[in-house]
Amino acid sequence: MLKKLSLVLSGAVMCLSLNANAAENWRVWNIHNDGHPNTGAMDLFADMVNTTTAGEVKVEVFHGGVLGSQPDALEQVRLGAIEVGNFNLGPIGPIVKEANLVSLPFIFKSVPQMFRVLDGEAGDIMSKAMADAGILPLAWFDAGARSFYAQKAINTPDDVKGLKIRVMNNNLYTSMISAMGGNPSPMAFSEVQQALKTGVVDGAENNFPSFKNVGHYEVTKNYSMSEHLIIPECICVNTKKFNALSPALQAAVRGAAKGAALYQRAMWSVQSGQARAEVEAAGIKVNEIADKGPFQDAMVKVYDEYLAANPDMKKLVELARATK
Ligand code: GTR
């Protein structure tokens, strides 16, 4: 019996020491294809990790959402079945309440202000809550602002009335559409083009690079600049896997994420302008909305209901609003 136990124990010790020396092989989920700023940035992240860790952490990126839908991939990263993802914070809200701050319509005044909020106390609170849930943010990406697109122009909240609008997976977005009298339809990103084409939905909402890159503009006529959501994205890693790395490897991975984010933000500013020009050249009518007041007024109900049900979110809302 004792002999058996010592055999098992020595086996376990051997496994541990093997693990300590073995290279980490990390899979990275990316929903986007070539031509989207995040794809180049995630490739750069992989190159930098592979180089700066001298192959101790080997990273391979899977583009085009081939590892699953965003909600699935989030679950996989939480479990450690996939190690890293480039996630939009919208679908993180249902898992980590604090992340919902960024999914409140019109919460930010601009992208730079959104980054200042993330770099401040509100960002620290969100990051900690995400890490506790198993999705540790290493760096933040720019994803511009999301606006509505449909066959018809959407210049006022009344124009949304009766329309079936695709949203990401988050109750705040269903409330947002319902508050304007529309019918929200949560759906995976990969299904949206077909749904627009066949009339399963009348419209959707996204930024210019996503609108262009997966062909939503090919089956739509109007893009109306409501800019109702400014949602950041992250390079997020499974918390346990990251914490299990040596401090030097952690610094290398974090450095690679920060470098990739700097690159992504620069590419975003160029490519989102290019995406707009391309869809306009292809016949999309872009409608500027001079007064977003009526959209903001329609969202008061969304805030009231959400904060009544989640009073602990008031502090984050106040922190965001107090940020210049
Ligand atoms: C894009 C975002 C994706 C995904 C998508 C969607 O802008 O980069 O991660 O969230 O929107 O609408 O599902």
Give the pLDDT confidence score for residue 3 in this predicted structure: 44
CA of 108 from ligand 1 middle (Å) equals: 18
Per-residue DSSP letter, 64:
T
Pick the CATH number of 146-229+284-314 from 3.40.190.10, 3.40.50.970, 3.40.50.2000, 3.40.190.170: 3.40.190.170
What mean pLDDT is predicted for residues 64-83? Answer: 98
**β-sheet with 233-238: strand ranges across:** 57-62, 24-29, 84-88, 233-238, 135-141
Secondary structure of residue 53 in the 3-state scheme = coil
The Cβ-side half-sphere exposure at 217, using a 13 Å CA radius, reads: 24
Atom of ligand 1 nearest to the CA of 189: 13
Look at ligand 1, atom 2, and give the residue with the nearest C-alpha.
88
CA of 190 from ligand 1 middle (Å) equals: 10
Cβ of 103 closer than 6 Å to ligand 1, yes or no, is no
Rounded-to-integer distance, Cα 187 and Cα 185, Å: 6
Q: Cα–Cα–Cα angle for 125, 130, 133, nearest 5°?
A: 130
- Name the residue of 28, 29, 30, 31 to mutate for ligand 1: max ligand atoms within 8 A of Cβ: 31
- Return the higher-pLDDT residue of 298 and 9: 298
Question: What is the DSSP track for 288-322?
Answer: P-S--HHHHHHTHHHHHHHHHH-GGGHHHHHHHHH
Rounded-to-integer distance, Cα 124 and Cα 131, Å: 10
Instruction: Collect all residues with Cβ–Cβ distance below 8 Å to 238 and sequence separation of at least 6.
Output: 77, 78, 79, 80, 82, 83, 84, 134, 135, 136
pLDDT tens-digit profile of 87-98?
A: 999 999 999 999
Taking each helix axis from N to C end, the angle separating 111-118 and 121-132, rounded to the nearest 10 degrees, works out to 70
CA of 71 from ligand 1 middle (Å) equals: 11
Atom of ligand 1 nearest to the CA of 38: 8
Burial of 181 (0-12, 13-18, 19+ CB in 10 A): middle
Cβ of 70 closer than 6 Å to ligand 1, yes or no, is yes
Q: What's the predicted TM-score (pTM) here?
A: 0.93
Structural tokens at position 170: 């988050």
- Would the pLDDT of 165 be above 70? yes
- To the nearest whole number, what is the mean pLDDT of the chain? 94
Cβ of 31 closer than 6 Å to ligand 1, yes or no, is yes
**C-alpha 181, offset from chain centre:** 26
Look at ligand 1, atom 6, and give the residue with the nearest C-alpha.
189
Give the pLDDT confidence score for residue 123 in this predicted structure: 98
Residues of the chain with CATH 3.40.190.170: 2-142+232-273, 146-229+284-314
Give the pLDDT confidence score for residue 20 in this predicted structure: 47
CA of 52 from ligand 1 middle (Å) equals: 30
Atom of ligand 1 nearest to the CA of 86: 9
pLDDT tens-digit profile of 207-258?
A: 999 999 999 999 999 999 999 999 999 999 999 999 999 999 999 999 999 9
Cβ of 207 closer than 6 Å to ligand 1, yes or no, is yes
Q: Which of 71-101 are b and which e, b meaning 16 or more Cβ less than 10 Å from the residue's Cβ?
A: bebbbbbbeeebbbbbbbbbbbbbbbbbbbb
Q: Topology of domain 2-142+232-273, per CATH?
A: D-Maltodextrin-Binding Protein; domain 2 (3.40.190)
Cβ of 204 closer than 6 Å to ligand 1, yes or no, is no
pLDDT tens-digit profile of 103-141?
A: 999 999 999 999 999 999 999 999 999 999 999 999 999
Closest CA to 321 of 35, 54, 121, 83: 121
Atom of ligand 1 nearest to the CA of 204: 12
Rounded-to-integer distance, Cα 11 and Cα 299, Å: 60
Atom of ligand 1 nearest to the CA of 188: 13
pLDDT tens-digit profile of 278-316?
A: 999 999 999 999 999 999 999 999 999 999 999 999 999
